[in-house]
Amino acid sequence: MARFDIPDGWTVQAYRFAIDPTQQQHTMLRSHCGAARFAFNHMLTLVTAVMDQRAAERSYGIADTDLTPSIGWSLPKLRKIWNQRKHEYAPWWAENSKEAYNTGLDALARSLDNWAISRTGLRAGKPVGFPRFKTAARSRPSVRFTTGTIRVESDRRHIVLPRLGRLRTHESTRKLARRVEAGSARILSATLSQDSRCRWYVSFQTLIAGKIRPVHARRSPDPVVGVDVGVKADALLVVAAPDGRELWRVPAPKPLAASRARLRALQRRAARQHGPYDSVTKTRRLPSKRWQATTARIGRTHGRAAAIRRDVLHKATTTLAQQHQVITVETLNVAGMRSAGGARKKGMNRALADAALAQIRQMLSYKTRWYGSDLVEADRWFPSSKTCSGCGGRKPNLTLADRVYECEHCGVSIDRDRNAAINLARLGDTQSSVGEQGPADSGSAAGRGARQETDPTQVGDAAGCEASTRLYTTSGGGKAGTVASEGMAA
């Protein structure tokens, strides 16, 4: 359930900037993130204790009306209990902003709500387990500010946040500052987080008015295209038109493969140093400074690879969404593709992770809404690679090693990725022509159909739901509230 209704003509977008905090501000940031983690763990301990107590009393045959009173899982109820207990269990609570504790309580409320709904089978995706306690080593430092002074300074180099004051940004904030000054953007919240490279970022969730295709964006003469994704070095994205022309292809940067030698050396060095775990006594110990420095270098290496990958994907998907009207992509189960195989398939699994195929469809899903394009997702079982783009024949025995598609019916020989992109483009061309009539025969790309994900007439609402975080339903009303109450009584 959304916190508010997004006005017509507006959309939600996040602006992310790197910041350069001073040493004192860095200490304050860590303190705020630790406070959020403490509030999460403290209330999770209380909720778990009450659930165990109720389960024990129920096993003794005590009636439900005489059980220990349960604890509500909604954010307001958790916050009320926290305010009653913080003076005793966190006497230092005044050193941090109240938003820090609200961040941890909100995360706990969402986690419990997702777990309760998943138990009933009403939540799509993999089953969600019971929330685990957060640790400084495992959880990502993060804190969110929704109230107080949150603004971007006019000098384009500083931001202001509650309790933290004025923070210098590593890069210019002019893209957001210009919109705020013009009145076409309104900041809703700000989230501070630290990545694996120990770099701090601030992400502003904003309402943007008139998010349309830029005037300077070049329109392609091919409005309908198909996009085939892969892990080969020369074919991360292959874009083709319905008439069989290959428009362009994006090579895979493979940043993880390029940094494997460096990662191997750093990880071997870390293994030789005094780490946090003693393999002889099988106990935890205080890690050495050099081990911490080496792990920080490993994190920076991974962060650089992720930044290179993200840069290539953002540029490619933005170009697709701005230049073409209908974009057809595959619905790949990337997590399932990497879930099995073991050591014999580790090379393929590593290549899939290095390509980040799932992010391509995710980026296109909201960018097409921003720029007024249509995203058509082919069914997961649509045979784009096994169907001949020349005659429509099928080749069921096609393997991953076959990089050239050779049709046994018409004798055509074509690049495998280009053939799949053509079939996807023809499917998207059919979908754009039939409109709301559902899947139809797309000539040589006939298959099990596709579903259209975006609606150009609802750009503002669609983008807002996509970009904003879904809020849970309080455990007092509605279906989710009923599920939460039942999950607690179990």
What residues act catalytically? 228, 330, 417
Which residues lie across from 406 on neighbouring strands? 413
Q: Which residue has the tokens 């005037």?
A: 215
Q: Which residue has the tokens 């999460």?
A: 40
Q: Which of 200, 204, 289 is nearest to 22 (CA)?
A: 200
Cα(209)–Cα(7) distance, integer angstroms: 9
The gap from C-alpha 195 to its chain's centroid, in whole angstroms, comes to 14
Q: How many CA atoms within 13 Å lie on the side-chain side of 224?
A: 16
Cα(231)–Cα(239) distance, integer angstroms: 15
The residue type found at 90 is: A
Query: H/E/C letters for each residue in the chain?
Result: CCCCCCCCCEEEEEEEEEECCCHHHHHHHHHHHHHHHHHHHHHHHHHHHHHHHHHHHHHCCCCHHHCCCCCCCCHHHHHHHHHHHHHHHCCCHHHCCHHHHHHHHHHHHHHHHHHHHHHHCCCCCCCCCCCCCCCCCCCCCEEEECCCCCEECCCCCEEEECCCEEEEECCCCHHHHHHHHHCCEEEEEEEEEECCCCCEEEEEEEEEECCCCCCCCCCCCCCEEEEEEEEECCEEEEEECCCCCEEEEECCCCHHHHCHHHHHHHHHHHHHCCCCEECCCCEECCCCHHHHHHHHHHHHHHHHHHHHHHHHHHHHHHHHHHHCCEEEEECCCHHHHCCCCHHHHHHHHHHHHHHCHHHHHHHHHHHHHHCCCEEEEECCCCCCCCECCCCCCECCCCCCCCCEEECCCCCCEEEHHHHHHHHHHHHHHHHHHHHHHCCCCCHHHCCCCEEECCCHHHHHHHHHHHHCCCCCCCCCCHHHHHHHHHHHHC
